[in-house]
Chain A
Amino acid sequence: MPDLHEPQFACHVEDLTVSYRERPVLWDIDLDIPPGVMAAIVGPNGAGKSTLIKAVLGLVTPVAGHVRVFGLPVTQARRRIAYVPQRQSVDWDFPATVRDVVLMGLYGQVGWFRRPGRAHKARATAALEQVGMQDYANRPISQLSGGQQQRVFIARALVQEADLLFLDEPMAGVDAVTEAAIVALLKAQRDAGRTVVVVHHDLQTVDRYFDWLVMLNQRIIAQGPVAQVYTEDNLRSAYGGQLALIGSLGNAGDAASTPTATAGAGAQDA
């Protein structure tokens, strides 16, 4: 029975440092995400948000630090984690139907030298229904719109029935209807007891969609419940004074008081 290190957190990161060509991209990251939250990771361009997710998942090798998921090293907890990468990480001209892509989410579970069976295919169909794409099951993925592609990617993660979901900018470049559908889906996952961690591109919607917030700019600026962390001071620290605020950050859900980030990157840009 392996030693459980900090099992009370869905994701525990300590001293994580990632370099690229001898320059730090992430530095001294200490991060704890409790289970059952819907967390957002925000920060300016070049903050290392995608890199953080990839380092947690072991897709990128850190030069220092360790990661635990539900107390276990990630390599032992793979079944409990699912990952939705950015849409452009894939060539959508690949010969595959919608159903093929979702089924691929189960390949890691099917086992060496075996084929997906009827049970796996049924799970894939159920996942497609969850995202509302069951009518597109036989559609080639090259014919999908951006929002449909995103839904297929999410279905591929849902089919794995993981306890911890990582999504990298799932709502970027997606129409309003799809965005609302995705948020509803993720909230339902959270309500069912799963932990959802999203690299989010839009500051304006953070307090409406999420209950936990991580502000990142190569280092952790702040982390915790949205109400506590989503403050002017923290935003200024994270975005380096490039932030234009409209009104004050008073009540959550009050449209007039949400801040907008300008296009400029923060003082430390990669």
Chain B
Amino acid sequence: MLNPTLITVILAASMIGALAGVLGSFLVLRGQSLLGDVISHAALPGVVGGFLASGGRGFVAILAGALISGALAGLVVQLLRRGAGVKADAALGTVLSLFFAAGVVLLSVAQLRSGAAGLTVFLFGQAASVLRADLMPMALVAGLVLGGVVLLWKEFHLISFDREAAQAQGLPVSLLETVLTVLIAVAIVLGLALAGVVLMVAMLIAPAVAARQWVRGLMPMVLLAAVFGILAGAAGAVISAQGHGVATGPVMVLCATALTAVSLLLAPERGIVARWTRQRRARRSLHGRQVLAALQGLSQAHDDPSYASAEGMLNAYLGASSQPVLDRLKGRGFIRQAAKMEPELGKDRRWELTDAGVLHLENKDETQ
């Protein structure tokens, strides 16, 4: 099954995935996911331009073209924001659409003229488009980008966590942010052939979000995101290379998103299952006596022995849903539901202690 083409594809996808995971972590933590989407969509006209200019599949020309149109897009965004006062999300959305539309038109024109059917590769990615000859330049660029991240690690760490503190410490924050954005742009552009313009951003976001669920520090998050990126990239590329004509980008994204879903569900501290288990345990450990005492305490705080506590208020005090315990206590006759009062008809249940309940609470040698 392992032929040279497959190995090439796996290597390329792994590099792209690792890079996307690393740079995507910063993108996600800084809340700039939309910017990543803009960079990848806005690269399309540049990609087509680079292809046409190099008269073929010149790796460097296409990369350069993508970077140039990405940079141009960034400039237009700044112009809209600073010059015209357009809000960030509207400016980004506008530029994304503008450049992508221009790119699609250019693509159609290019296809008509030079029969360059291979360019649709850049919309959704195609594993088969990666040539053995591309691997070395790709590895070189990827190495440079990762080297940049390593060298400027603590600077990127600080500006991502607390930009003002970085400024106050004298770091050249604007310059660092520009460098980081350039590195992100290079990572995106490098992956366009495999993942495609439309979905590349997901390869930056999904592994980072998945990794966040498992870690307590930035370094572990970045490393884990790289691992997830490699897994999703390689799996997606291999599956799509099986020759059924499925574009690579969507498959890679589905793999990455599956990893994210699993992480969101199963991660130990932050996972949904973990939280649900914690809440269940808190609910279970609520004792009847505790709830009775809380009800009594609440009525005492209101100086009114006939005060009936709202269940929502009781839950907030106890820190867990007391509904099963309340039903149990009601069954034993220690509490009763109070009549509903205007204006809260139909909402929360209200509970008050019965005489038996008061006795049970005061009777200290009686067991649960």
Contacts and interface: CB of A to CB of B under 8 A. Distances in A.
A interacts with B: yes
Given A95-B217, A97-B217, A108-B169, A116 B154 contact: yes
Contact of B165 (A75, A96, A97, A156): A156
B158 interface: yes
Contacts of A83: 164-165, 168
B29 to A, nearest CB: 6
A18 to B, nearest CB: 16
B169 A89 contact: no
Contact of A95 (B168, B170, B218): B218
A135 B221 CA distance: 24
B41 interface: no
| A interface SS class | mixed
A101 B154 CA distance: 12
Nearest to A109: B169
A147 B207 CA distance: 33
Contacts of B215: 95
A15 interface: no
A94 B164 contact: no
Contacts of A78: 168-170
Contacts of B167: 57-59
A23 to B, nearest CB: 15
A118 B136 CA distance: 38
Contacts of A81: 168
A100 interface: yes
Interface in B131-187: 151-152, 154-155, 157-158, 160-162, 164-171
A78 B172 CA distance: 13
Interface residues of B, number: 26
A43 interface: no
B162 A100 contact: no
Contact of A104 (B162, B170, B216, B221): B162
Contacts of B220: 95
A90 interface: yes
A233 B328 CA distance: 64
A110 interface: yes
Contact of A89 (B152, B164, B217, B221): B164
B112 to A, nearest CB: 49
A85 interface: yes
Contacts of A82: 168
Contact of A107 (B169, B218, B221): B169
Contacts of A110: 154
Contact of A96 (B152, B166, B170, B217): B217
Contacts of A105: 165, 169
A96 B215 CA distance: 9
In the A-B complex, the 5 residue pairs with the closest CB atoms: A108-B169, A83-B168, A78-B170, A107-B154, A140-B216
Interface of A: 54, 57-59, 75, 78, 81-83, 85, 89-91, 94-97, 100-101, 104-105, 107-108, 110, 113, 115-116, 138, 140, 156
22 contacts: A59-B168, A75-B170, A78-B168, A85-B164, A85-B168, A90-B161, A90-B162, A94-B161, A94-B218, A95-B29, A95-B221, A97-B216, A97-B217, A101-B161, A104-B161, A104-B162, A107-B157, A107-B166, A107-B169, A108-B170, A110-B154, A113-B151
